[in-house]
Structure 1
């Protein structure tokens, strides 16, 4: 079938992206789903720093590639081997499929799936297939999803079904921002009553971590960011305090979530961590990024540094948990949306993301 999507033609294009146009919205051919795959009509997709990191070259991927990994949509066709999802169901996309068979999948979310990671690096679906092409030339998949398009073919293991009462925008954010930021709080940080949780970086993932922490009883939540508008927004959403990195003073927290992907942010997070506390890093810095840290502090103060990919989540387990928190009014996922754009505004959206002005921009297809 013919679809319309935003294809990354080259990596490392100069700013501003509205002028250099690294992403081109174009017509493509989408092959039918294989036995273990689904055809999904995309309803909503979010712009995330993981998309920007491919555009700017921080995370090198093969091109041409149809970007987008945070999305939700409605199933329009299912492969012959898919028996648990029906046409018409709404599904949440997840950007790391889990094969369920490798040693990493046995770690309960601690380690990313080996097969899924290999497929994501190659630009294929989990079984090694590619369903996208343009004028007879292969166009690769982004993180098994490729959601910046009207439709996508995805592996069954790349989606989690949700009920119709979960709106498309909420469902889309569950698959990345909430799963990553919220999962880092629930699965890696695990705050206890009376503790303080600090979040460094108040983009979409950081804000998701914050509202997840606020859903805990008797936990103090502190936001840290360089952008005053984001600090104000954090206070509006319930943060107990908000500071610029240079203004934190002697603040210390038992759980600190770093959601920027920059060495300076991680050093700030480490400095904020109290004795006996946990620093959880979910940001994706450049591969050559380095930090300066005293190893003595980890032993002498009993502190730990935890890397958390996809929020150390098992999507099939954790997305229903977040849905129930949202239904109960404890997780205001809608509050993460800073603006809605069209697919044709994708390059301008990347500029907003690179400028640090956006929390979550949503592409609305309906």
Structure 2
């Protein structure tokens, strides 16, 4: 075992910073040296109690790094490879995986916060188990992950960009090109311009959507949305969105919710043109409920699409998005507010909760 610093969450005690021990990789496992890890709203959902946790966790799930060691049976990555970590590691055996729908894998243990064999690679200073959040636990300097979570990318891809591809960017762009399959010329409204929402805007520009309307309370985020490809921005405190979309678009073809707010979700179908689709990209708190008008949905042929991880197959989509970044189509570096040491994780989470900034990247101190 090796000893590392980690940022953890313990039920009833909140965030801590402590020493952890990391086991050696077993069969089908990969030891990855973390070089960059993003601070994502899914980590905040755990910290603020939106998603209940029943065991102590090493936080973090959006990361990139270098393969340091491989366990028996690993064939797709080798020591020294640069990898992006996919938090939803598929089993590659269930019906959905075999059908090419890895984002709907029924055999993954990611949501159980364990490795595929039900174990954890982490223990605390007292030898008690700590569990990897979403099967990764990247708020530390070394992690053990299943082979299917380690996605090889080119060595010249910046680690900071690779971290974003692990969750937010793949989710946002995938919502457009995979979940909704937005055609060129379709109109779209994006509500929420954080890291995921701006990735939706980038995906819409990539798809050739027009117009692209970005909605956010923050003037800074609205300005950033224009840089990423929005053609119009709106402040919902000043503009009634349903009235605006009716008057200017006769209803929008697609409405993306990238916050995870059940009250906003209730308004989405009222923004849609006949035949339009609302896409739920943001994750709500567990147990949240939204009301809709089913008659309007049926009568006008509208639909609501759920989006998990951008309906992405990580081994296909993450390298593809990396190539688009390297070719200059995705200005992903503009999503990053800056890099900071891993010890700043609590402050970065507080800033995320306050809605300030876009994406903080944490770097383990070695």
TM band (smaller chain): over 0.9
1:120-199 equivalence runs, <5 A: 120-134=110-124, 135-199=126-190
The CA deviation at 1:318 is 1.0
Q: CA deviation at 1:111?
A: 5.3
> Which residue is equivalent to 2:268?
269
Using the size of structure 2 for normalisation, the TM-score is 0.93
2:214 is aligned to: 223
Contact 1:25 1:343 in 2 (8 A): no
Secondary structure at 2:26 match in 1 = coil
Distance between the aligned counterparts of 1:218 and 1:304, measured in 2? 19
Whole-Å Cα distance in 2 between the matches of residues 79 and 167 of structure 1? 26
Q: Secondary structure at the match of 1:269?
A: helix
C-alpha distance in 2, partners of 1:273/1:325? 30
The aligned counterpart of 1:65 is 57
Kept in 2, the 8 Å contact 1:108–1:313? The answer is: no
Q: Distance in 2 between matches of 1:115 and 1:193?
A: 35
Counterpart mapping for 1:13-32 below 5 A: 22-32=14-24
Query: Which runs of 4 or more aligned residues in structure 1 lie more than 6 Å from their structure 2 counterparts after TM superposition?
Result: none
Counterpart CA distance in 1 for 2:209 and 2:173 is 17
Unaligned runs of 5+ in 2: 246-250
Aligned residues: 355
Q: CA deviation at 1:279?
A: 0.9
- 8 Å Cα contact 2:92-2:102 kept in structure 1: no
Conservation of the 8 A alpha-carbon contact between 1:193 and 1:219: yes
Question: Match for residue 351 of structure 2?
Answer: 352
Q: Residue 211 of structure 1 aligns with which residue?
A: 202
Task: Quote how far apart the aligned CAs of 1:104 are.
Answer: 2.9
Answer yes or no: is 1:92 the counterpart of 2:84.
Answer: yes
- Structure 1 residue ranges without an equivalent (≥5): 14-21
Determine the structure 2 residue equivalent to 1:250: 244
Are 2:34 and 2:64, in contact at CA under 8 Å, matched by a contact in 1?
Answer: yes
Residue in structure 2 matched with residue 9 of structure 1 by the alignment: 10
Query: Within 2, Cα distance between the matches of 1:222 and 1:181?
Result: 15
Q: Per-residue CA shift, 1:82-140, capped at 9, x if unaligned? A: 12211111111111110011123245337521121xx2343211221211001210001
Larger displacement relative to structure 2 (246-255 or 178-187): 246-255
Structure 1 pair 227–209 and aligned structure 2 pair: CA distance change class (3 A)? same
Cα distance per residue 1:221-271 (max 9 Å; x no partner): 111112222112212333111112341332132122111111122123332
2:248 — aligned with what?
A: none
Look up the SS of the partner of 2:213 in the other structure.
strand
The alignment's TM-score, normalised by the length of structure 1, stands at: 0.93
SS at match of 2:160: helix
**Structure 1 contact 224–244 (Cα < 8 Å) conserved:** yes
| Alignment RMSD | 1.6
